Chains A and B, each alone.
Chain A
């Protein structure tokens, strides 16, 4: 398949403006004749559905929670980047572009990243106008903090609840459109298949999670904003319901899946405590502004932290990366933590942990200042661990957090299926092999408020869309497909629970496709995942029926997709014989143990094509070229 990324020509600074100018428009009276489906109401979906509604399109939006306000975006703590340069510290659109591209280890498309940096400033304005209560200075202006991978202070925040406040802003805009009748909101409704007619996305099949009813919804365009797939690892910082089903089923209908192996392991999460653990909790990266990370210098030092004198402590990030120190990017910080733990210097009962210590900043700024900045995060920590971080250093360990991979999209955020747009974490587009902190919120809102409303309009204006109805053979076929899947899951009546399979898969993924990967391990993992899949379809136990509320059935469908995705992730990791960003292949490292990229052979986006249930997927490549920022070995020393 040839991949046309539709990157505009001309200077990058003008590219988005020019593209917008050249786009076709739909006149206001005609907009109401179009129907657009938006699946997902996180930052990306809610902002997109609200904006499309404001433009006058008929929109139907879907989410699986009981309300659009509960999407996983709500959990983002730390902040959102924007190149406002309000601090006068040398920030600019170009610098944000540069930082994001470099942070992504030169595996993202320059033009997409530039546009992201460009619209970042509009996002802040929009959110402020909606009433998002961003933190303020005493003079009444907006406050900023720093995040990893940047030397400027460009992160806007609302206490430790930035995602919540941004999502509530987008949710309220969405509800305003619901009230006006422009958007129809179907909560507790899960997309289970995509309807493709004449090679165009023309609708979806959904399952009503209360009644179990499978339904067809037709449309002129479909936008997926269904979030990331970190839960393939079972334990992650994602909400329990986060899943890949919408994206994966679209993949099976022809949308290519890009860079599935690019996953982000976040360095600062609360360590695992026991077998029953159902999810992991993030401690925002913003804590690294004032917390110092260390482990004992000597392996096996079991003294309590206050008994370990300064000379016996290794502030390893400050030592190894003096210019970024505790604010080194996530992939680098996570690997460094793994390394010191592998050396036997990890702390806590399991030895899988490092200290994040606020002693010095409490001495410098006082406990109140720290409480003001991070009070709610400290509270979360204490609640979970029973320890008081004002007195005892936090123990943290890396955990799966974000997925840079996702459905392939072009510059217009359109997938390889015309009319299927993919927004937010669900697409692969802007973060390359590693995402910088506070840039996922930025991307979700950029896509939803400022990119997709234009590109979807352009698509509708320039595409001849035949009238199609729910009686179309393709629609009925997709419905039947969904019915069969439900029946198949319910008829197995095996002995193992869905969660048992999910845990097993997660462990394999974490051990072999996690922070470090190698050929042998990945090959082993692929074999094991195939076995898990085979056993799943013979031995899974899904109680209850398909015709009412059945949380086990919902989960079974999602886990079935995770198993298939897990295999593809390992294949992708195996194919990429280099290390870059979050993808660390042990065979490819510099003498100092840093990721060794291979630009000659791997400067491309991997885009996998589904070929059928038991056929090998086909790898397509979109070459990446760098005209503005020359790829260099990423250095944070």
Chain B
């Protein structure tokens, strides 16, 4: 089939950007979206032009590297699908597509369709972990965990950190991303000791990174390629509020001489 692509081209964060039109004849319906861009890039290189920069690695929907807007929808807006998992059979012959990077102040543009999502790493640094140094763990079966809790934690932990939630949110909020991590850890017995600290610190970090706040638009859940539920945001809010009331910062340990 034949498609027309309009791709955002911008050589760097400070350079001007614009949409560039490319005709794509001979698109095979079994190709993935990224394979179609590969074909475009190969043809650009042969013509001596610069290929389109986009991020990708696993190409099976798990690493979270890929992601851009197709016709204004994150990852194209297909249910539970990243662009690398999106196959061309979902498009119609003759269709015109508009391809743009994630747009959010917390995700500065790097080049073409690539943005900088390191803010996500910094949110995790603020508390998205359980403090258990290597070697200090009890036997794996020492703490039984009800299957339903383990399953709910796993549902939240399935987040791939792609950023679609931010890109699709009218406020560019990172609440779903942050909530998924807080819920994953706070639903497990292992996560209890740092539960409140975690909620407080991660929310603070999120706000410092220029993400917007959540006004319950629910776009994030709709576009999340892993189907992460906004119930997690409710958990985050609850723990955050409880933490704000009850939490005192842990007193620093003082050596007794």
Interface residues of A (CB under 8 A from B): 47, 50-51, 54, 65-70, 72, 74-75, 84, 86, 122, 124-131, 133-142, 158-159, 161, 164-165, 168, 171-173, 175-176, 178-179, 185, 187, 210, 239-241, 273-274, 276-279, 281, 379-380, 383-384, 386, 449-450, 453, 495, 497, 499-500, 541, 543-544, 548-549, 551-552
Contacts and interface: CB of A to CB of B under 8 A. Distances in A.
Contacts of B130: 129-131, 172
A134 B134 contact: no
B191 A380 contact: no
A125 B190 CA distance: 12
B16 interface: no
B117 A67 contact: yes
Contacts, number: 212
Contacts of B53: 549, 551
B60 A497 contact: no
A187 to B, nearest CB: 7
A168 B158 CA distance: 10
A126 B64 contact: no
Contact of B140 (A128, A139, A499, A552): A128
Contacts of A74: 58, 62-64
A129 B135 CA distance: 10
Contact of B190 (A130, A168, A450): A130
Task: Please classify the interface of chain B as helix (H, G, I), strand (E, B), loop, or mixed, using the class held by over half of its residues.
Answer: loop
Contact of A549 (B111, B126, B137): B111
B154 interface: yes
Contacts of A47: 134
Contacts of B48: 543
17 contacts: A54-B133, A70-B57, A126-B134, A128-B143, A131-B185, A133-B184, A134-B140, A136-B144, A138-B147, A161-B158, A171-B124, A173-B134, A175-B125, A274-B28, A274-B31, A497-B46, A552-B45
A133 B147 contact: no
Given A69-B64, A131-B188, A172 B129 contact: yes
Given A136-B145, A136-B146, A497-B46, A130 B132 contact: yes
Interface residue range, chain B? 35 or more
A173 B129 contact: yes
B190 A128 contact: yes
B134 A140 contact: no
A543 B51 contact: yes
Interface in B102-120: 110-111, 114, 116-118, 120
A140 B45 contact: no
A490 to B, nearest CB: 13
A279 B59 contact: yes
Contact of B114 (A75, A165, A549): A549
Contact of B85 (A70, A241, A383, A552): A383
A140 to B, nearest CB: 3
B70 interface: no
B178 interface: no
Contacts of B46: 495, 497, 541
Contacts of B165: none
B180 to A, nearest CB: 11
A134 B153 CA distance: 10
Given A140-B147, A274-B28, A544-B50, A450 B134 contact: yes
